[in-house]
Structure 1
């Protein structure tokens, strides 16, 4: 069971991942709507991932990475 409350580094790391998703999406000239359509997720989910507001499911990260055309590892690297 995760620590409650989470250590500060966890939400900070989520925001870094969200920033990488956004940067990759913009570099690919895609809108959040386009990524949502390509991934099968809704735009709100893509937005929440980019904002770091929610803990992403691994499946969602894989779908978004594929929709953008980048390796999932690029979004998660340290």
Structure 2
């Protein structure tokens, strides 16, 4: 399948949007990053990269984060 010219930009925007949604939910709950990554049993660096949108997240990681935050994983993927 041919690569679209804006694939990289699109992926970066989407990763950042997911991270932003995680951050908004976390802050709305007055939680620290530490409280979330510890409860989700995710490494600090992995969690910070997901929330910053700088790395691809495994679905397992997103599911764990969503569960800790009390939201459905689709809430993190869609506006």
Unaligned runs of at least 5 residues, structure 2: none
Q: By how many angstroms is 1:47 displaced?
A: 0.8
CA RMSD of aligned residues (A): 1.8
Question: What is residue 25 of structure 1 aligned with on the other side?
Answer: 26
Distance verdict in 2 for CA 1:35–1:6, change over 3 Å: farther
Question: What is residue 14 of structure 1 aligned with on the other side?
Answer: 15
Q: After TM superposition, where is structure 1 displaced by more than 6 Å over at least 4 residues in a row?
A: none
Question: What is residue 40 of structure 2 aligned with on the other side?
Answer: 39
Unaligned runs of at least 5 residues, structure 1: none
Q: By how many angstroms is 1:63 displaced?
A: 0.3
**Highest Rg: 1 or 2?**
2
Under a length normalisation based on structure 2, what TM-score does the superposition of the two structures give? 0.86
